[in-house]
């Protein structure tokens, strides 16, 4: 019988958008229970959130340091912590819990510098702890099936990649001093060295890496500041050269009027191509040379059973963002449970975004910044 794990959360008060998403994703499979938290720097907000979530007040903490220290002493300490705070605190919070012997799931970007990300990777390995990063889009069923088709060589060697993650919200709201909920994203003291690339550009890079396994050899990036010239980027155009000779282009934007949350990926190979859109997540467009293209749905008989075994709802029903996020959490939780039983983990058990993916994301951000600061020059990855 599967015994439910326990977890705690840092950040994610009742008014937090992403904290609520994380909790819903974890709850979907019912394999972990939220038992403690430090949901806000304001303890009153933590208490109010804890009361709403029916958490024992004794396990509501004034700050993450107290939470990590007290939980590590308990015989029933939490199995993992979910970190959903703004970027600048990811490193210090994750470091504290890793030092306390607790597995970590952290929002992206992993940290605000590559050096910090590398330190967390080494600390997780040193303490033999699992560390996941919330690259949620890799949980979508049809992206996972696309990865399998590319791996089988269905579209041949990859030649070109087109990826974009674009939205409009920064075009609609001038930030500084006018939108407290989102203002931190363009504030370098909280967000780090980048806004747009760090917030959504890393998703494009992560999905491409997930699908193809290709490594970036070099890139050139132009990072724009249309809304607030004295703050952080809100738009970026990035050219990529990959290690197999393929090329790519990424467009990531928060000022693309007319787009709420558009993530589109196209992988073009010598024999065909695969295209996927987050707004039509149930489908893959598959094209092959000298054949008419087909649109494959997640309900199709052609989709492998090992993909369908992970379905929450059957094919023909729309798969949503929380379901994809839940799949990432489910695989992370399964790995913790297996290790907790004393079993050795195999590579298949680690089929979720790991701290290594978080480190790669930070390298991607820093290389884009390096290129932009050099006038969009090519830089080696």
CB 266 within 8 A of CB 260: no
- 253 belongs to a structural domain: yes
Domain boundary among 129, 159, 186: 129
| pLDDT value of position 338 | 97
| DSSP 8-state symbol, 303 | S
CA 172 to chain CA centroid, nearest Å: 25
Task: Please check whether residues 64 and 177 belong to one and the same domain.
Answer: no
Domain boundary among 69, 95, 129: 129
Task: Please check whether residues 116 and 191 belong to one and the same domain.
Answer: no
354 - beta bridge partners?
Answer: 132
Residue 189 CA to residue 110 CA, distance in Å, equals: 16
- 200 belongs to a structural domain: yes
CB 102 within 8 A of CB 330: no
Domain boundary among 98, 129, 160: 129
36 - beta bridge partners?
Answer: 8
* Cβ-based neighbours of 27, under 8 Å, separated by 6 or more: none
- 310 belongs to a structural domain: yes
Token code pair at residue 3: 């015994």
CB 354 within 8 A of CB 103: no
| pLDDT value of position 141 | 97
164 - beta bridge partners?
Answer: 251, 264
Task: Please check whether residues 122 and 165 belong to one and the same domain.
Answer: no
pLDDT per position as a tens digit, 354-377? 999 999 999 999 999 999 999 999
pLDDT per position as a tens digit, 164-208? 999 998 887 665 555 555 677 777 788 889 999 999 999 999 999
Cα angle value 145/315/31 (rounded, 5°): 80
Q: Provide the residue range defining the domain that includes 69.
A: 5-129
Task: Please check whether residues 182 and 302 belong to one and the same domain.
Answer: yes
CATH of the domain at 63: 3.40.50.720
Task: Please check whether residues 144 and 121 belong to one and the same domain.
Answer: no
Task: Please check whether residues 97 and 163 belong to one and the same domain.
Answer: no
Backbone phi, then psi, for 89, in 5-degree steps? -100, -5
pLDDT per position as a tens digit, 316-344? 899 999 999 999 999 999 999 999 999 99
**Which residues of the chain are under the pLDDT cut of 70?**
1-2, 173-182
Task: Please check whether residues 147 and 123 belong to one and the same domain.
Answer: no
> Rounded to two decimals, what is the model's pTM?
0.95
Task: Please check whether residues 99 and 205 belong to one and the same domain.
Answer: no
Q: Compute CA distances 343 → 105, 314, 335, 340, 353, whole Å.
A: 21, 31, 10, 7, 21
CATH of the domain at 266: 3.30.360.10
- 265 belongs to a structural domain: yes
Task: Please check whether residues 283 and 198 belong to one and the same domain.
Answer: yes
- 351 belongs to a structural domain: no
Residue 202 CA to residue 206 CA, distance in Å, equals: 6
CB 60 within 8 A of CB 53: no
Task: Please check whether residues 41 and 72 belong to one and the same domain.
Answer: yes
Between β-strands 379-380 and 32-38, what pairing exists: parallel, antiparallel or unpaired?
Answer: unpaired
- 349 belongs to a structural domain: no
- 241 belongs to a structural domain: yes
Mean pLDDT of the chain: 95
| DSSP 8-state symbol, 81 | E
Q: Compute CA distances 376 → 12, 58, 221, whole Å.
A: 37, 53, 5
| pLDDT value of position 180 | 59
H-type alpha helices, the chain: 17-29, 43-52, 64-73, 90-99, 114-126, 141-151, 169-172, 188-191, 196, 202-212, 305-308, 321-340, 355-373
Count up the domains in the chain and report the number. Answer: 2
Token code pair at residue 316: 């023909």
Task: Please check whether residues 261 and 309 belong to one and the same domain.
Answer: yes
CB 195 within 8 A of CB 228: no
Task: Please check whether residues 62 and 151 belong to one and the same domain.
Answer: no
| pLDDT value of position 274 | 98
Between β-strands 379-380 and 283-288, what pairing exists: parallel, antiparallel or unpaired?
Answer: unpaired
- 257 belongs to a structural domain: yes
The residue to which tokens 């934007």 are assigned: 253
């Amino acid at each position: 019988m599967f015994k439910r794990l326990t977890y705690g959360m840092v950040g994610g008060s009742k008014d937090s958008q992403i904290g609520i998403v994380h909790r819903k994703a974890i709850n979907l499979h019912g394999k972990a229970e939220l038992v403690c938290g430090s949901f806000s720097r304001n303890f009153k907000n933590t208490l109010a959130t804890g009361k709403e979530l029916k958490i024992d007040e004794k396990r509501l903490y004034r700050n993450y340091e107290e939470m990590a220290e007290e939980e590590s002493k308990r015989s029933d300490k939490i199995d993992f912590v979910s970190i959903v705070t703004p970027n600048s605190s990811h490193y210090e919070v994750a470091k504290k819990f890793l030092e306390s012997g607790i597995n970590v799931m952290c929002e992206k970007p992993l940290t605000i510098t590559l050096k910090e990300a590398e330190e967390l990777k080494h600390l997780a390995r040193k303490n033999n702890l699992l560390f996941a990063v919330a690259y949620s889009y890799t949980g979508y069923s049809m992206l996972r099936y696309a990865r399998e088709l590319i791996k089988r060589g269905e579209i041949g060697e990859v030649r070109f990649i087109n990826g974009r993650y674009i939205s409009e919200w920064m075009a609609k709201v001038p930030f500084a001093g006018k939108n407290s909920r989102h203002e931190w994203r363009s504030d370098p003291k909280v967000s780090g060295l980048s806004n747009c690339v760090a917030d959504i550009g890393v998703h494009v890079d992560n999905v491409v890496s997930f699908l193809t396994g290709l490594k970036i050899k070099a890139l050139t990036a132009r990072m724009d500041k249309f809304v607030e010239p004295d703050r952080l980027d809100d738009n970026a155009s990035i050219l990529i050269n990959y290690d197999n000779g393929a090329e790519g282009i990424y467009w990531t934007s928060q000022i693309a009027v007319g787009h709420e949350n558009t993530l589109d990926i196209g992988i073009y190979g010598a024999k065909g191509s695969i295209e996927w859109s987050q707004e039509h997540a149930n489908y893959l467009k598959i094209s092959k040379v000298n054949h008419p293209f087909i649109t494959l749905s997640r309900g199709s008989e052609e989709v492998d059973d090992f993909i369908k075994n992970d379905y929450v709802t059957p094919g023909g029903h729309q798969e949503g963002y929380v379901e994809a996020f839940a799949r990432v959490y489910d695989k992370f939780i399964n790995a913790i449970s297996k290790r907790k039983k004393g079993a050795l983990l195999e590579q298949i058990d680690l089929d979720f975004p790991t701290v290594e993916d978080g480190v790669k994301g930070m390298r991607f951000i820093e290389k884009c910044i390096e290129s932009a600061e050099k006038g969009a020059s090519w830089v080696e990855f």
